[in-house]
Amino acid sequence: MRIAILGPFCGWIERELNPGAFLLGYNHLHEIKTRLPDAKIDLLSTDFIRPSFQDLDFPDSEVVDGICIHYITDKELFDKIYNSYDVLIVGSDNIVRDHPDSLTYFNLLRKLHRYNFPFILSCISAKGTANSLVKHSDLFRVGLCNASYASVRIRGLQRFICDEYNYHVPITPDPVLGSPFKLISSKFSPELIEKKNLPIIGIALKKWNWRYFFTFAQRNRALLEQYHLYFYNYSSVHHCDFTHNIISRYMAKLDLTCTFDFRPLSPLQCLSINKYFHISFNSTYHGTVCGIVSGTPVIPGYERDRDWSRRLHAYSDFGLSGRFIDYSFHKKGNFSEQMYEFEDKLPMLLKNPAVADKKMKETSLNLLQKHYDDIILALNR
């Protein structure tokens, strides 16, 4: 059997090597290969060429943390999959959204359905709310309702599918929650972290994450004096000398104990580094998930609509609903209020680490194993 696993596994920005996006593909490949050892399985990462990247020359494939990723453009998708594989598994992040990238996926699924080519939608999530999906509702319906097997990991998306299409799909925990963290953590032994005398707060250089932290540091300098602040690259696209210079100059003014680890880390290195932190400051969803897997307390960044929040669902599934701070001030304007919430909750999070409930974690892992078993059943029909 020839199986293609498709998704933007390096991130929505071309070859970003986003740790969470990569680990989604990594775990799908590992679990399916374990169940079908004789199958030919390829990881295909969509490579949407946007104007700012058109002059760059991308390779056809690349080995990332021991896994070969085959890059493919939207123009190649149908012919490549239809002619080279027997079945398609879409197992990725936020493919349901009102965006041209998402439409590329669902146009592909509509065409595959027309040619009776089997496909599976595994643990998909959505970005935005129901309002952003209604515009392309008929297109989404074809993909979601004609899959050999489909599951989602957002309750808001599950309810939308039920209400809009009168179709039920199961909820599945995020595949990254099932990561073999002992194996992952063995990938990286950071010399710069060893022999630190203070508890370490890790700050990921990703999107607005470090800007949030700078603002917090100004207001909480006295509190942060008792910690070692460790800034690190969360993905390759943020390996930028300009950003590094700004961070170094700004933190020097606060005179706090800091380390700036500006090395371009691989996805598994970015995730495994969490085990060295006393607490992680990371505004990304999979940064939060990694904290659950590694047992490291995480202060997440901003939240969207709570009914569609992947982070809140992951936390509630592990009994950690009170272990996050809602940074929605960039939308609400309640900046001072969020500052006080941070000052209130940070000491609590440091004193009582957010360790996932063992029984709930075991339940989620069992659900994930059943999910992959269901995929194999669908493949063998």
Q: How many residues are recorded in the chain? A: 381
- Measured CA to CA, the distance from residue 56 to residue 58 in angstroms comes to 6
Per-residue H/E/C for 79-90: HHHHHHCCEEEE
| DSSP per position, 167-208 | ----B---GGGG--HHHHHTT---TTTTT-SS-EEEEEESTT
According to DSSP, the residues that pair with 280 across neighbouring strands are 202, 298
According to DSSP, the residues that pair with 299 across neighbouring strands are 281
Q: Please, are residues 179 and 293 in contact by the beta-carbon 8 Å criterion?
A: yes
pTM equals 0.85
* Two tokens, residue 131: 């309002």
Kindly report the CA angle at 95 between 142 and 141, in degrees rounded to 5?
Answer: 15
* Two tokens, residue 51: 């104007």
Nearest to 286 by CA among 133, 132, 153: 153
**What stretches of the chain show up as alpha helix (H) in DSSP?**
19-35, 77-84, 100-114, 131-134, 137-145, 155-165, 181-185, 209-219, 221-224, 241-254, 267-272, 285-294, 310-317, 329-332, 335-351, 358-379
One digit per residue, the tens of pLDDT, for the chain of length 381 reads: 999 999 888 776 666 778 888 888 888 998 999 999 999 999 998 765 444 444 556 678 888 888 899 988 777 889 999 999 999 999 877 676 656 666 778 888 889 999 999 999 998 877 665 666 666 677 788 888 889 999 988 887 888 888 888 888 898 888 888 776 555 555 555 566 666 678 888 888 875 666 667 777 777 788 788 888 888 888 766 556 666 777 788 888 888 888 888 777 788 888 788 888 888 887 777 887 777 777 777 766 555 555 667 777 777 777 776 666 655 544 444 555 555 555 666 666 666 655 667 777 778 888 889 999 999 999 987
* Two tokens, residue 33: 């290969």
